[in-house]
Amino acid sequence: TLVLLWLGIFILYFLVKLQRPKNFPPGPVPLPLFGNLLQFDSENPLKELDRLSRRYGSVFSVYLGGRPVVVLTGQEVIREALVTHGAEFAGRANHTMISHITAGKGLIMVDYSTRWRDHRRFTLTTLRNFGLGKQSMEERILEEAKHVCTSLEQHAGNSMNPQHLFHHAASNIICSLIFGSRFDYEDKYFQTLINSIEEFIKLMLGPWAMIYDIAPALRFLPLPFRSSFHHYELLKEHIRKVVAEHKRSQVAGEPRDLIDSYLEEMEKVREKKKEAEGSSFDDANLVILLIDLFIAGTDTTSNTLRTLTLYLMTHTHIQEHCQQEIDMVLGSREHVSYEDRHAMPYVQAVIHEAQRVGDVVPLSVFHTTTANTQIRGYSIPKGTLIVPYLSSALREKDQWKFPDEFNPQNFLNDKGEFVKPDAFIPFSAGPRVCLGEGLARMELFLILVTILRRFRLVWPEDGGVPDHSLIFGMTQSARPYRLGIRSRT
């Protein structure tokens, strides 16, 4: 009887907890404990989101365990929330495991606050070359593109899996911007760091992080999430050493990279005695900010490069069109420059189309509401989890000329000029729009053009049937494939 009584209380508790607030967006009936989790296919939960949006409309809600989540679909609703009501939708979820690991510092997972705003402004200004010293962002990317080509050259006439190469290249660009130096691709230490980032992300997005969130007391047990802490500690240790070295060798007024700029910012703040006002520029925030930039800037860019090269191999006429445009614009010039993009509308269209179909961050990073608010007549209380379903806009039927195929015409007008439709939001929108958008665009353009000038990409004879489907994840990727490489002579 006692067991039944407890079971009854337990179910009653969840039924009360799972009552949607008044005038909340509609959605399917949740189950106790699991909410609506069981109706999602872990391999491809997006299909279920599409079905729910057809049934309930562009704003609906589901329960992740006991927590209600509002899903925004289609570019109009996403922009209305994230841009028109930007401040009200700019919060971040309080994720227990992340808060324990980062101690609430850094940038990506920090709530809408003065600390977030100060760090975002500082990082954007620094990346826009105002604090990167003698070597510009463009030069650093071109240097990395040269190393990518040297690696590809070693496989000319053959094929290779490009996953590690692109991943290392994207990581190295972040290293160059924040540490002022890059690593050799074969460097064992570099591989350990990259491995730590990958393992950390895998664990953070897996079921253990969710279990930790529900029952943080479990953190004292030797369960797999302990290894997230271990990998994060390794990264922190490395970065602390680099910061200490920067402090020793820094020359005032001559920043070499983002770390030097940050140290100068700390000094300025100290001089103005801003500590009293609660300034957040300090060593602990610097370390987490740097890790955030690594995490945000590596998989996203390298997965997009992999999607790009996959489609160029399987759509050879599109690749040839790009190469004609590149050859015509650059002639015998040694280097491409980012300015050249204005004279290359077709290449621009191809890169954007690869971003659209590659759909790298399908559900954005979850937001929360910072105040009680409304969207499309529904009431959304402060602190509600918000999922901007970005891929719904990237595939929206009435927004694209060819929503279901890879076609650069989606970004070209009748005159062959490059145009960007409003539904192109792979970097999200509003105050929390991707901070690395400018950097990522520059990387994709400079690396792709450098590769296509030197190589023809071919689908290898033993490569099987090309598969363009994506592996679902917080960051999605193309399935592993081999890149066939031929020198262009």
Among 370, 428, 450, 476, binds ligand HEM (CB under 6 A): 428
The answer to the question of residue 393 lying near ligand HEM (CB under 6 A) is no
Cβ contacts of 54 within 8 Å, gap of 6 or more: none
The answer to the question of residue 434 lying near ligand HEM (CB under 6 A) is yes
Longest pairwise C-alpha distance within the chain = 86
Among 131, 297, 345, 484, binds ligand HEM (CB under 6 A): 297
Distance of CA 129 to the CA centre of its chain: 21
Report the candidate in 257, 272, 196 with the shortest Cα–Cα distance to residue 228. 196
CB of residue 14 to ligand HEM, shortest distance in Å: 30
HSE value, Cβ hemisphere, 13 Å, CA-based, for 327:
12
Q: Which residues are annotated as a binding site for heme?
A: 434
For ligand HEM, the closer of residues 68 and 426 by Cβ is 426
Cβ contacts of 369 within 8 Å, gap of 6 or more: 88, 89, 91, 380, 381, 382, 383, 384, 386
Let me know: does 305 contact 165? Beta carbons within 8 Å.
no
Stretch that binds ligand HEM, among 318-326, 341-349, 427-435, 449-457 (CB under 6 A): 427-435
CB of residue 119 to ligand HEM, shortest distance in Å: 9
For ligand HEM, the closer of residues 260 and 443 by Cβ is 443
The answer to the question of residue 172 lying near ligand HEM (CB under 6 A) is no
The answer to the question of residue 363 lying near ligand HEM (CB under 6 A) is no
The answer to the question of residue 477 lying near ligand HEM (CB under 6 A) is no
For ligand HEM, the closer of residues 14 and 424 by Cβ is 424
A 10 A CB-CB count for 238 gives 18
The answer to the question of residue 234 lying near ligand HEM (CB under 6 A) is no
**DSSP string computed for 58-91:** SEEEEEETTEEEEEEESHHHHHIIIIITGGGG-B
For ligand HEM, the closer of residues 18 and 108 by Cβ is 108
The answer to the question of residue 255 lying near ligand HEM (CB under 6 A) is no
CB of residue 351 to ligand HEM, shortest distance in Å: 10
The answer to the question of residue 108 lying near ligand HEM (CB under 6 A) is yes
The answer to the question of residue 307 lying near ligand HEM (CB under 6 A) is no
Retrieve residue 133's tokens.
């010293």
Cβ contacts of 207 within 8 Å, gap of 6 or more: none
Burial class (CB in 10 A: 0-12, 13-18, 19+), 295: buried
For ligand HEM, the closer of residues 14 and 427 by Cβ is 427
Interface map 73-102 toward ligand HEM (x if CB under 6 A): ------------------------------
| Spatial distance between the Cα atoms of 240 and 249, rounded to a whole number of angstroms | 14
DSSP SS3 for 445:
helix
Burial class (CB in 10 A: 0-12, 13-18, 19+), 349: buried
Angle at 344 (CA atoms; ends 319, 348), nearest 5 degrees: 70
Q: Which of residues 5-24 bind ligand HEM (CB under 6 A)?
A: none
Angle at 428 (CA atoms; ends 423, 431), nearest 5 degrees: 125
| Spatial distance between the Cα atoms of 479 and 227, rounded to a whole number of angstroms | 26
CB of residue 439 to ligand HEM, shortest distance in Å: 5
Residue in this structure with the two tokens 């608010």, named with its chain if needed = 373
The answer to the question of residue 107 lying near ligand HEM (CB under 6 A) is yes
Q: What is the DSSP secondary structure assignment for residue 163, as one 8-state letter?
A: H
Q: Which of residues 438-467 bind ligand HEM (CB under 6 A)?
A: 439-440
Distance of CA 378 to the CA centre of its chain: 29
The answer to the question of residue 301 lying near ligand HEM (CB under 6 A) is yes
For ligand HEM, the closer of residues 18 and 291 by Cβ is 291
The answer to the question of residue 436 lying near ligand HEM (CB under 6 A) is yes
Retrieve residue 58's tokens.
């562009």
Let me know: does 77 contact 184? Beta carbons within 8 Å.
no
Report the candidate in 148, 111, 140, 106 with the shortest Cα–Cα distance to residue 123. 106
Among 347, 351, 361, 478, binds ligand HEM (CB under 6 A): 361
The answer to the question of residue 201 lying near ligand HEM (CB under 6 A) is no
CB of residue 361 to ligand HEM, shortest distance in Å: 4
The answer to the question of residue 296 lying near ligand HEM (CB under 6 A) is yes
Stretch that binds ligand HEM, among 184-192, 335-343, 369-377, 423-431 (CB under 6 A): 423-431
Among 33, 124, 234, 365, binds ligand HEM (CB under 6 A): 365
Among 435, 442, 447, 451, binds ligand HEM (CB under 6 A): 435
The answer to the question of residue 347 lying near ligand HEM (CB under 6 A) is no
The answer to the question of residue 391 lying near ligand HEM (CB under 6 A) is no
Interface map 109-148 toward ligand HEM (x if CB under 6 A): -----------x----------------------------
The answer to the question of residue 408 lying near ligand HEM (CB under 6 A) is no
Residue in this structure with the two tokens 């922190």, named with its chain if needed = 236
Phi, psi of 423 (to 5 degrees): -80, 0
| Spatial distance between the Cα atoms of 470 and 461, rounded to a whole number of angstroms | 22
CB of residue 64 to ligand HEM, shortest distance in Å: 17
Contacting residues toward ligand HEM, per CB under 6 A: 107-108, 120, 292-293, 296-297, 300-301, 304, 360-361, 364-365, 367, 388, 426-428, 432-436, 439-440
